[in-house]
Each structure stands twice: as structure tokens, then as C-alpha cells.
Amino acid sequence: MENAVGPSSPSGQGQLAEVWARIRGRLRDEVGEVEYRSWLRQMTLASLQGEEVVVLLPTRFLRDWVRGHYGDRLQALWQAEIPAIRRIEFRVMAEPRAEAGQPEPRAEGRAAPNGAAPRPARAEPAEAGLAEPLGRPAEPRMADSRGDWSASLDPRFTFDTFVVGKPNEFAHACARRVAERPAMPGFNPLFLYGGVGLGKTHLMHAIAWAIRERGVQDGRAPLSVAYMSAEKFMYRFIAALRSQSTMEFKESLRSVDVLLIDDLQFLIGKDNTQEEFFHTFNALVDAGKQIIVSSDKPPSDLAGIEDRLRTRLGQGMVADLHATTYELRISILQAKVAQAGVAVPPKVLEFLAHKIATNVRELEGALNRLIAHANLFGRAVTLEGAQEVLHDVLRAHDRRVTIEEIQKRVAEHYNIRLSDMSSPRRARNVARPRQIAMYLAKQLTTRSLPEIGRRFGGRDHTTVMHAVSRVAELMQQDIAFAEDVELLRRMLET
């Protein structure tokens, strides 16, 4: 059955050309001009029949590449335009001069072994054009099932946008190494592990992008990269079992040069899938291909993963992403702010980095909300605004504040020793922070003045009273001082 906007009717064809132009425009926005020109510009729409769209590419190589890397995305874009569409078929354009029965003018498969440039035909089909509807393509569609390893790589997750600090520098260095020279001895597999939101997926995508990009730059056939979560691996495997196409599944996976499997812990207890992954793993490593795996635990802690697989996983390089430090969180926030091109006062960043300490994803989310909010209302980002906008997020991170915490935070802030909070020293650089801590203890806890006095080295309640009024007075006089105390208060507040 012909679709409502079929290329067979002239008006339908016009409409379809528009849809196609929009889809390509979106894709170009998503992947960027360079990538688009290298790979996607040569796509031509051949037909839309029922639920299938047929897209042509000039060479088999290009067809595999586009299907492998953009297949899913194209399908999603098509579906967004025409929900009835279920699949995209990628075909090689019939070569006008090719002899009948000789379907492929170029080398087999993805890579010309001699390193011939991947750029295909120089002639460019009309940008917006629909191809002449062609007959059956030069080859049967069965010819490959490999296209579907399409990586939906996030364009934001590159090495450029990854902020390096103490907690992640080792994992980052390993990732760089592998991206530069895949399958180097000692780095295969690369096993990245760490808690939620610490950058595992970001690093994996960065490796994949770097490898793809380098291929493009050198004009060599890029290595084929397959990225997927362990969960997706499992679904695909099960689907292959159901449709009795496990051979194709195996072959298609084993033909990649770099395989990245994210969140391997998902395979815990999934015996069949583990078994299959183990075989794929061995086949690839034995063939000198690179494997990169991420997980929330180190291989040794992956209970429920078969011993032999666990052993092999730990045989290359194991690198962990540690919990972030305050410094790293600040750097990440600064980088994001610079990218967004928005002015956010340093105090707001400090506040966020203190308050949201667990997870970079949440930290980013909070910052994005602030920025979105400020844009929406055309207001500057301020500390007060931040506290208001992020009320719910912050509350989740809040806890009851104690005098000890106040002393510790204030001591850290002013770079004095915690013991100075209760020492008899009266030097101003110690006495002033001590007064601030007393003031905050009065503001933020329900302790009485004598009780607070006792916790500050057995001082009298009048000393505490004096501290409280002195700090309040200084806050009136000195805006910078007031902001400082406010910042401390917000950081501590319940």
C-alpha cells in the first residue's frame, strides 16, 4: 500500500521532498557540518512505500557507515515526521556505468584493506533531490544485518567537554590512550568503573567519537565502532534468538573493530547473554580488536558474573572514576557555564558544588535549571534565586546541621584549624571565624547561648552574645563579609 505522501503523486513528491529536507536539516544540526558533509550529504531518498523508506548511497562502504552510525537516528527522525514509518532500508545506488550483474564498484565491506579513502564518489547528487525511483537495488537486502550497531552517541560527550581532575585523571588518561591506539597490549579490555553519574558513559562516548573522528581526518577508512549498553546487547541477543538469526548477530558483532559495552553490571545473573558476550569478547580480543567495558563495580566485585568472564575482564586495564572532589565539581561547573555562555556568579557555583556532592548529573541538572530559569525570566543568576529555584533539589541533600559541622565548615572556609574553634587564641584571623561559627550556631541550631559557649572551648554565654551581635553588625557594614557569611549559612542550612 502506498503511503499518503507517496513519491508517485507530484504533490506528494513535493511534500515528501520537504519532509526529507527537514530531516536532513535536523541531522546536520545534530552531527555538525563536517560530519554531515563527510557521510550524510550523499544520501538520496529513493522511495517511501507503506512503512518503509528507502535511502540510497553511492557505495557499499558509505551505505554501511550511514546505516551503522545514523540508522537509528534517521529512523527516529522519520518517525517523528511520519509515525507510520517502521524501517529505513539503505541501499547502494545503482552505478550507471556499472555492468549489469556487477553490483559493487568498490571494495567489499567497510574498509578497503589498503587504506583507501572512505570518501566515495565525488559527484554529488542534488542536495534536496529525490532519486529517480529505482528498481530493486543492486543487492538483496539480506546482505547485511550489521547496520544496526548504530551508536546513538551523544554529541556533547567528547574529550573536549570532559573535565579532568584528580578523581578521574587516570581513567581519562586510559581512555585517551585507547582512543589513540585501540587494541594496544595492556589496554585491552579497558574496564572503566565508578559510581552513578561520575562520567563513565561520557568517557565511552568520547572514545567512540575520537576514533571515528580520526578516521575521517586521516582520510582513512574509519574503524568501525559499536557502542551499546549491556542491556541493549541482551535485548538484541534475545531478539536474534527469537528470530533465529543468531548467526547474523554474532557475525555482525564480530566484524567491528571497537566494541564498547556500557553498564556491564546489567548482565549479572543473565547467564545466556553472558555466555554470548563471553564468546564475542574472546573472538574480538583474539582478533586484535578493542573492547571497552564500563560497570559500577570493579571486575572482582561483579558477583553473578561467571568466573572466566570476570577473569578476562580484569586482564587488561582496570581504571576507576572516584567520587568527585569539591575542586573538580567547581571546574566542571565552570566549564559548563563557559559552554552555556551565561554569567553565573562564583558564589553560586561554590554553593552548588558544596550542596550537590554526589553526582555530576545532578550537579549539571541543577545548574541547567538555574540557567533556564534565569533565561526564562530574563533575570541574572543570583545566590538567592538559586536557593529558591533549587529548593526541592537542595532539600533532598539537606540534613540537620550540628555545631561540629558548623565549626568544621567555617574552619575550612577560613583555612584555620578546627582546634582553633575551641582554643584560647585571640588573634583576629582565628577569632573572627570563631565568632562567625558562633553566630551560625545560634542561627542554625536550637542550642542555647551557654551550650554554644561550652562547645567553643568552654566560653561564657556573654562571649557568644557578643560574637552574635558583632557579626550581625559587620554584616551590615561590609557587603563582601555579609555574602561570605550568607554563603556559609546556605551551605549549612537545614
295 binds Mg ion (CB under 5 A): no
State yes or no: residue 199 binds ligand ADP (CB under 6 A): yes
Whole-number Cα distances in Å, 160 to 226, 312, 427: 21, 31, 47
**From the list Mg ion, ligand ADP, none, partner contacted by residue 364 (C-beta under 5 to 8 A by kind):** ligand ADP
| 198 near ligand ADP, rule: CB under 6 A | yes
Q: Taking each helix axis as running N to C, give the angle between helix 479-492 and helix 461-477, from 0 to 180 degrees, rounded to the nearest 10.
A: 120
Answer yes or no: are the C-beta atoms of 278 and 308 closer than 8 Å. Answer: yes
Q: Which of residues 196-235 bind Mg ion (CB under 5 A)?
A: 200-201
Site for ligand ADP contains 309 (CB under 6 A): no
Residue 356 binds ligand ADP (CB under 6 A): no
Q: What are phi and psi of 292, to 5 degrees?
A: -130, 130
Beta carbon nearer to ligand ADP, 146 or 205: 205
**How many CA within 13 A on the CB side of residue 64?**
27
What secondary structure does DSSP assign to 338-363, as a single string?
Answer: HHHT----HHHHHHHHHH--S-HHHH
Instruction: Identify residues 359-398 at the interface with ligand ADP (CB under 6 A).
Output: 360-361, 364
For residues 108 and 327, which CB has a smaller minimum distance to ligand ADP in the complex? 327
Least gap, CB of 178 to Mg ion (angstroms)? 17
| Binder of residue 197, out of Mg ion, ligand ADP, none (CB less than 5 to 8 A by kind) | ligand ADP
Residue 159 or residue 249: which is nearer to ligand ADP going by CB?
159
Shortest distance in whole angstroms from residue 223 CB to ligand ADP: 22
Taking alpha carbons only, the member of 359, 384, 415, 397 closest to residue 486 is 384
User: Which of ligand ADP, Mg ion, none does 24 bind, CB closer than 5 to 8 A by kind?
Assistant: none
- Residue 91 as a binder of ligand ADP (CB under 6 A): the answer is no
Count the residues in the chain. Answer: 494
DSSP state of 155: T
Cβ proximity of 422 and 406 under 8 Å = no
Quick one: 143 or 268, whose CB is closer to Mg ion? 268
Cβ atoms 237, 249 nearer than 8 A: yes
Within positions 182 to 201, which residues make up the interface with Mg ion, using CB under 5 A?
200-201
Measured torsion, CA atoms of residues 336, 341, 342, 344, in degrees rounded to the nearest 10? 50
Closest CA to 201 of 173, 222, 230: 230
**Cα(461)–Cα(348) distance, rounded to whole angstroms?**
34
Shortest distance, CB of residue 448 to ligand ADP, whole angstroms?
Answer: 44
Q: Count the helices and strands in the chain (H runs, E runs).
A: 19, 8
Q: How far is the CB of 473 from ligand ADP (least distance, A)?
A: 43
60 binds ligand ADP (CB under 6 A): no
**346 preceded by a cis bond (ω within 30 of 0):** no
- In angstroms, what is the minimal distance from the CB of 184 to ligand ADP? 23
Q: Does residue 168 interact with ligand ADP by CB under 6 A?
A: yes
Q: How far is the CB of 295 from ligand ADP (least distance, A)?
A: 10
Q: Where are the beta strands (DSSP E) in 239-334?
A: 258-262, 290-295, 317-321
Supply 406's cell numbers.
Answer: 558548623
Interaction with ligand ADP in 255-294: which residues (CB under 6 A)?
A: none
> Using CB under 6 A as the criterion, what x/- string covers residues 121-160 for binding ligand ADP?
------------------------------------x---
Give the residue ranges of DSSP H helices in 106-229: 169-180, 200-218
- Asked if 196 is part of the footprint of ligand ADP (rule: CB under 6 A), the reply reads yes
**Taking CB under 6 A as the rule, does residue 338 contact ligand ADP?**
no
Residue among 201, 252, 255, 280 that touches ligand ADP (CB under 6 A): 201
Candidates 228-236, 358-366, 409-417, 439-447: pick the segment binding ligand ADP (CB under 6 A). 358-366
Placement of cell 561540629 in the chain: 404
Contact present, 68 and 144 (Cβ < 8 Å): no
Based on CB atoms, which residue is closest to Mg ion, 321 or 381? 321
The C-alpha cell 540537620 sits at: 400
The residues binding ligand ADP (CB under 6 A) are 157, 161-163, 168, 194, 196-202, 332, 360-361, 364
Residues that bind Mg ion (CB under 5 A): 200-201
